[in-house]
Amino acid sequence: MADLLDRYDVFCFDGYGTLYNRDRFVYPGAMDWFQLLRRAGKILRLVTNAASDVDGVLARAAEKRGFDFSTEETISSGSLLPKLVEQLRSGVATNAAAGIVNETAGGTSSKPLELREAYYIGRESGRNVLKACGITAVAMDAEPAEPIVAISSAKDTPETYARAVKILQKPGAILLVLNSDAWAPKAPDENGETEREPVSGALSERLRRDSMCDANGGVGCETYYLGKPFPQIWERVKASLPVGSRVLMIGDTLGTDVYGAKIAGFDSALVVGRNVSAAELEADEKALGIRPDYYLEP
């Protein structure tokens, strides 16, 4: 990190898997990086696909782990939802609108939605992200007035999954993916070994595929992805920075952090051994057609 200090004005960090993990686990070396950059007066941003709560709460959670990001320095995928909801309610949400990514046959949602209720799968605190947009998460054994499902983490059960599929198979159904991460690393075990597990991005892909049925012409639900690597989150990051800033994105994942940085026009650094093992790194880079500018080791 010291080698990169003078090359960049802004350092953007992913959270989980890069700086910390569940509970209060902090990765070795992460606090040294953070404190070095704070002492050097660098501009810092926490750019996270966490949609487990609103930005202020996520910032306070990071601070409890020792990383004093302010609410203004925190940009999460969940914070992108209000703009998408506004567009869906006005009937103008498209693939191109504000960088929102939408997988659907037509690529456009032209019918204005009420969007007052959603079937929600995720952590309990993630309901606050919906609430901030005026959306109520219905009971797990109920269905929303409109066929809308929102997910922020892979907290499904066989029963909730089946109900979500039933909702998404209805004509005009919408799937809101508040956290686009397909995989996330667990905190290392007592031997220092790291395993990864499928999370909300992987769940959303299963739901999207299972939503395809005769009732919707075989095309399935409209699926909107928020967060890294898609463009909208980077527009928010750029809007928060001085014009002309030299920016480095630091993360643990090729498909979201490194690929997302490329979309943003930022340089990137990958922390190896978290979401991408050293043994799989070369194959993953070849499959995705992307490499970071730097590899970081604590």
Is the distance from CB of 221 to CB of 175 less than 8 angstroms?
yes
Pairing of strands 222-225, 174-177: parallel
- Segments of 57-210 assigned E as strands: 74-76, 93-94, 101-103, 108-109, 117-121, 136-137, 148-151, 174-177, 183-185, 196-198
Q: Map residue 14 onto helix, strand or coil.
A: coil
CATH homologous superfamily, domain 2-77+229-296: HAD superfamily/HAD-like (3.40.50.1000)
pLDDT at 93 over 80: no
Q: How far is CA 26 from CA 15, 85, 200, in A?
A: 10, 34, 23
pLDDT of residue 98: 38
pLDDT at 92 over 90: no
How many whole angstroms from its chain centre is CA 56?
A: 16
pLDDT at 188 over 90: no
pLDDT at 214 over 60: yes
* Equal fold, 2-77+229-296 vs 80-225: yes
Radius of gyration of the chain (CA): 19
pLDDT at 230 over 90: yes
What is the helix, strand, coil percentage profile of the chain, to 5?
Answer: 35, 20, 45
Tens digit of pLDDT for each residue in 245-265? 999 999 999 999 999 999 999
Average pLDDT, the chain: 92
Tens digit of pLDDT for each residue in 134-178? 999 999 999 999 999 999 999 999 999 999 999 999 999 999 999
Report phi then psi at 91, rounded to 5. Answer: 80, 25
Domain 80-225: give its CATH code: 3.40.50.1000
Tens digit of pLDDT for each residue in 197-207? 999 999 999 99
pLDDT of residue 138: 98
pLDDT at 105 over 80: no
Q: What is the pTM of this model?
A: 0.91
In the chain, where the domains are located: 2-77+229-296, 80-225
